[in-house]
Structure 1
């Protein structure tokens, strides 16, 4: 879990090192695959998209847990999207969706949060990375109304809301961006108050013009304004 925290705090190099050591320390294919999720995430944060895709798919094959395999396919699909590989991104996310459809139980021993809602949040982020921002927002607005949304871990929901904030800003909708960021703060405050990206987005919203009272209050709380 420490590698995930390091990635969120903009230390992907340390995150990669921590995750890589976790992978090396285990000889069980499924546990190794679960640890590789963090490796892929850190490699994506470092901009090594092809390496992230390769590592995720190599670890997914021997894993015998659909939640782990599905999450690795999500990481691979996002890496492809960040590399601009539209076809591969869609294919990998489709494969993850098929695994989510097959996984109907409540078991998630490796705490991946994998399921239909996780696939939809990944599709939204992939669309944004590929330049399809309007599609990203449509997918975001669909997933937050879905039955699976509340079953995602709070940190996952908040991280997705932070991503949606960027999409709203990119389409010139600062008020919607502010609402998304406030929802993220209510869901898991550390995703906004501790992550550099959360503070950056809040700064952009404040500088973009008169902000809603709740947004201005949050900016004061985190020390961006007085």
Structure 2
């Protein structure tokens, strides 16, 4: 057991799967994953950095989670946590409006709320997350009060406040709380096709963060169908941006679920819409365009473990003028994805060389 604790997490999964006499296919079925997903985890191509996924694997293998993560247990549980999250957790639990508790700060007009939400989004897109953590609790409270007084015009800032909060919480690693925020966004958006599609973008991100890739793909495709124009040529940039972004998110969900062919088809469909929109736009805070689709191609390649393709798409997309038009947050997330792909590729190459040397030595000895 002492030597097992020194193995990478994926190798530990393989070890315990072997101890339980489970094939990769049976193990995958019990997890609700594909055999390809299990294989990539065990080879170290896919990282296991979500505590919920580790706990589910441990449950299927009938072992304690600590047997999988070992020394890594504390960092995995602490990922993205901060004191500011507690303020965000408290904000949705006040229920001031349903309970009739409207005392306190004055109710802000809709135009002021739209400016405040816009500022929060811009701050998030510049990756200034601590500032957004400070802004979000009051933003949610004020948006709820404004909506209670004007359920027509007040709906847009309320949905946007929940959207930016959900996006922030995904970054902070609290996908469960993000799900609460995006669920409220979807409920508030009901009846408005554009708002539902915009909220569904964050819903897809949240479900993927929770490891529910198949559900994410289903929801995202349903939302894309609702917003899709009858013909690409007749779609507005706003519609195409929302529909294309939903297709990109669905492609990432398909890749996460091990369905590489479906991911490629969805990316191709989104690429046609991106050409119509062009770079330099940010409809509904999507940043959608040809460059964003190029980065998504790299992200899909990272998900399926194709390091060479990931790097090739990265080099092509970042050479486009549209690269500099993307928000800082988007570019930073992409660079982290590619860095992970390069690291995995370098590790696999080193292991392969070491294995080849070992084989040569054994042949020589014989």
Scaled by the length of structure 2, what TM-score is found? Answer: 0.46
After TM superposition, the structure 1 = structure 2 runs for residues 170-189 of structure 1, keeping only pairs within 5 Å, are 170-172=344-346
Q: Count matched residues.
A: 173
Give the Cα separation in 1 of the matches to 2:281 and 2:300.
26
Q: Residue 218 of structure 1 aligns with which residue? A: none
Q: How does 1:156-167 map to 2 (within 5 A)?
A: 156-167=330-341
- CA shift, 1:133, in A, is 1.2
Contact 2:279 2:322 in 1 (8 A): no
What do residues 142-162 of structure 1 show as CA deviations (whole Å, max 9, x unaligned)? 211111101111110111011
Q: How does 1:28-39 map to 2 (within 5 A)?
A: 28-39=192-203
Look up the match of 1:16.
179
Picking from 201, 205, 211, the partner of 1:47 is 211
List aligned pairs for 1:1-226, cutoff 5 A: 1-26=164-189, 27-63=191-227, 65-104=239-278, 108-172=282-346
Is the Cα–Cα contact under 8 Å of residues 113 and 152 in structure 1 kept in the other structure?
yes
The Cα offsets for residues 56-80 of structure 1, whole Å up to 9 and x where unpaired, read as 1111122261101100000000000
State how far apart, in whole Å, the 1-side matches of 2:342 and 2:279 are: 34
CA contact (8 A) 1:117 1:149 kept: yes
In the aligned structure 1, how far is the partner of 2:265 from the partner of 2:221? Answer: 13
Question: 2:226 is paired with a residue of what secondary structure?
Answer: coil
Q: Deviations over 1:6-25 (max 9, x none)?
A: 11111111112111110110
CA distance in 1, matches of 2:170, 2:195: 20
**1-structure distance, mates of 2:289, 2:209:** 23
Distance of 1:17 and 1:96 partners within structure 2: 28
**Runs of 5+ in structure 2 lacking a partner?**
1-163, 230-238, 348-366
How far does the alpha carbon of each residue in 1:198-218 deviate from its partner, in whole angstroms, 9 at most, with x for none? Answer: xxxxxxxxxxxxxxxxxxxxx
- In structure 2, how many angstroms separate the alpha carbons of the residues matched to 1:144 and 1:154? 13
- Cα distance, 1:107 vs structure 2: 5.1
* Deviating 4+ runs (over 2 angstroms): 104-109
Q: Which moved more, 1:63-72 or 1:36-45?
A: 63-72
Aligned to 2:67: none
TM-score by length of structure 1 reads 0.73
- Cα offset, 1:104, TM superposition: 3.6
Secondary structure of 2:283's aligned partner: coil
Residues in 1 aligned to 2:335 and 2:279: alpha-carbon distance in whole angstroms: 26
Inter-CA distance 8–103: structure 2 relative to 1 (3 Å threshold): same
**CA deviations over 1:161-204 (Å, ceiling 9, x no partner):** 1111111111228xxxxxxxxxxxxxxxxxxxxxxxxxxxxxxx
